[in-house]
Structure 1
Amino acid sequence: MKYVLLSADSETSVYLVPDEVANNLRKYCMYFCNTWLKESPNAKKYHVDGGICYTEEDFIEYLNTWTSQKEQSTFVESIGWINSKKDIPKKYNACPIFNF
């Protein structure tokens, strides 16, 4: 399990996710956004008023429900608004980051 930083145009949160997800974070996030949310019948609850509405918490729910039931991803802490690399706490500086 590894730390990743996720946000959805909001404060950034730290999550502990399976190594496979952390090592390929962009791939997993892009699939979630561009394929699963649009095509999966399991994503219907995110379809609102002709659009798709979701947050990083929904991505974590997707991971836990549909991809990796053996290793559950968990919230660690919120680290606030990140405007640049210098805003990231030192202990998370090398973590993969994705903003939805």
Structure 2
Amino acid sequence: MMKNVLLSADGDIKVYSVPDIVEKNLEKIADEFSFEGGLFDVEDFIDWLNKYKYPYKKSVYIETIGCVGDVDELPDQYKNCKWYNF
């Protein structure tokens, strides 16, 4: 099963559909990426997930939301999604 997450790197927020295990453990998995020398970048994180961590279940880009100052400013369909900022 796939779930949406919000990812950003001090800029535009991007929505990705990721395996549910990634959504459930987003912070832990993103930290693991960082500790392995990942460049704190959304695209690099997704590439790492797809090539090394979960190659059997690829994460997919959905859309760019843009910059928001607060969770309340997110579109309604994404307000309950986990959000990680690199």
Give TM class, smaller chain: over 0.9
Structure number with higher helix proportion: 1
Root-mean-square deviation (CA, aligned residues, Å) is 1.1
Report the TM-score when normalising by structure 2. 0.94
Matched, 1:91 2:85: no
**Counterparts of 1:6 and 1:60, CA distance in 2:** 10
Of residues 65, 78, 81 in structure 1, which corresponds to 2:67?
81
Deviating above 6 A after TM superposition, structure 1's stretches of 4 or more consecutive aligned residues are none
Percentage of pairs with the same residue: 39
Provide the C-alpha distance between the structure 2 equivalents of 1:96 and 1:70, rounded to a whole number of angstroms: 22
Pair member with larger Rg: 1
1:12 equivalent in structure 2: 13
Name the counterpart of 1:71: 57
In the alignment, what sits opposite 1:25?
A: 26
1:40-82 deviations in Å (ceiling 9; x for gaps)? xxx6xxxxxxxxx441011000000011111100100000002
Mapped partners of 1:60, 1:71: distance in 2: 12
| Partner Cα distance (1:10, 1:55) in 2 | 10
Number of residue pairs aligned between Structure 1 and Structure 2: 85
